[in-house]
Chains A and B, each alone.
Chain A
Amino acid sequence: MSLDPALPGAAPERRFLRLALANRSFLIGCAITLMIAGMALLSFFWTPYDITNLTVADRLKGLSSSHLLGTDHLGRDILSMIMIGARNSIAVAIVAVVIGMGIGVPLGAWAAARGGLVDEVLMRFNDLVFAFPALLSAIMITAIFGPGALNAIIAIGIFNVPVFARVARAGALSIWPREFTLAARAAGKSKALITIEHILPNITALLLVQGTIQFALGILAEAGLSYLGLGAQPPMPSWGRMLFEAQTRMIVAPHLAIFPGLAIVVTVLGLNLLGDGLRDLLDPRLRRQR
Chain B
Amino acid sequence: MSLLSIENLSLEIGEATILKDIDLTIASGEVLGLVGESGSGKSMTALTIMQLLPEAARARGRVTFDGIDILAAPEEAMCRLRGDDLGMVFQEPMTALNPVKSIGEQVAEGIRWHTGANRADAEARARAILDRVGLPEAQFPLSRFPHELSGGQRQRVVIAIACALKPKLLIADEPTTALDVVLQAQILDLLRDLVDESRMGLLLISHDLAVVAEMADRVTIMRSGEVMEAGPTADILSAKRHPYTRQLAEASTHVPARANGRAVVQAAPALLEVSGITRDYPGRRRGLFAQDKPFRAVDAVSFSMPAGHAVALVGRSGCGKSTLARMILALDRPTAGEIRLMGETLAGKSEAQLRGARRNMQVVFQDPYGSFDPRHRVERLVAEPLHLLDTQPSAAERRDLVAQALDEVGLAPADMDKFPHEFSGGQRQRISIARAIITRPKLIVADEPVSALDVSIRAQILDLFADLNQRLGLTYLFITHDLTVARAITDEVMVMDEGRIVERGPTREVLKHPATPAARALVEAAPDLEQALAARMRT
Contacts and interface: CB of A to CB of B under 8 A. Distances in A.
A210 to B, nearest CB: 19
Contacts, number: 76
Given A5-B369, A185-B331, A201 B375 contact: yes
Contacts of B363: 182-183, 186
Contact of B384 (A8, A9, A11, A187): A187
A13 interface: no
Contacts of B384: 183-184, 187, 189
B494 interface: no
A84 B480 CA distance: 67
B421 A180 contact: no
A133 interface: no
Secondary structure of the A side of the interface?
loop
A233 interface: no
Given A185-B331, A187-B385, A180 B354 contact: no
Contact of A186 (B38, B362, B366, B372): B362
Interface in B424-474: 432, 435
Contacts of A202: 373-375
Nearest to A202: B375
Contacts of A189: 384, 387
A183 B432 CA distance: 9
B388 A187 contact: yes
A11 B355 contact: no
B513 to A, nearest CB: 36
Contacts of B419: 10-11
Interface in B6-52: 38-39
Contact of B365 (A8, A183, A187): A183
Contacts of B435: 183, 187
A10 B387 contact: no
A186 B358 contact: yes
A262 to B, nearest CB: 41
B331 A5 contact: no
Interface in B370-385: 370-375, 384-385
Interface in B401-436: 419-421, 432, 435
Contacts of B420: 5, 10
A185 B361 CA distance: 12
Nearest to B329: A186
A188 interface: yes
B331 A1 contact: no
Nearest to B43: A1
Interface string B323-363: 00010010100000000000000000001001100110111
Contacts of B370: 178-180
A171 B33 CA distance: 42
Interface string A1-33: 110111111110000000000000000000000
Nearest to A4: B369
Given A6-B421, A188-B351, A179 B385 contact: no
Given A186-B331, A186-B358, A180 B385 contact: no
A198 B371 contact: no
A247 interface: no
Contacts of B362: 186
Nearest to A8: B374
A2 B385 CA distance: 29
A190 interface: yes
B498 interface: no
Nearest to B368: A179
Contacts of A180: 370-373
A198 B331 contact: no
A178 B368 CA distance: 11
Nearest to A175: B373
Interface in B227-278: none
B367 interface: yes
Contacts of B387: 187-189
Interface in A146-186: 178-180, 182-186
Given A179-B365, A182-B363, A10 B421 contact: yes
30 contacts: A5-B420, A6-B421, A9-B374, A9-B375, A10-B374, A10-B421, A178-B370, A178-B371, A180-B373, A182-B365, A182-B371, A183-B365, A183-B432, A186-B329, A186-B361, A186-B363, A186-B385, A187-B358, A187-B384, A187-B387, A187-B435, A188-B351, A188-B358, A188-B359, A189-B387, A198-B373, A201-B375, A202-B373, A202-B374, A202-B375
Given A2-B39, A182-B331, A183-B435, 12 more contacts: A8-B374, A11-B419, A180-B370, A183-B372, A184-B384, A187-B358, A188-B351, A188-B355, A188-B359, A189-B384, A189-B387, A198-B373
- A-B CB proximity, top 4 nearest: A5-B421, A7-B374, A187-B385, A179-B371
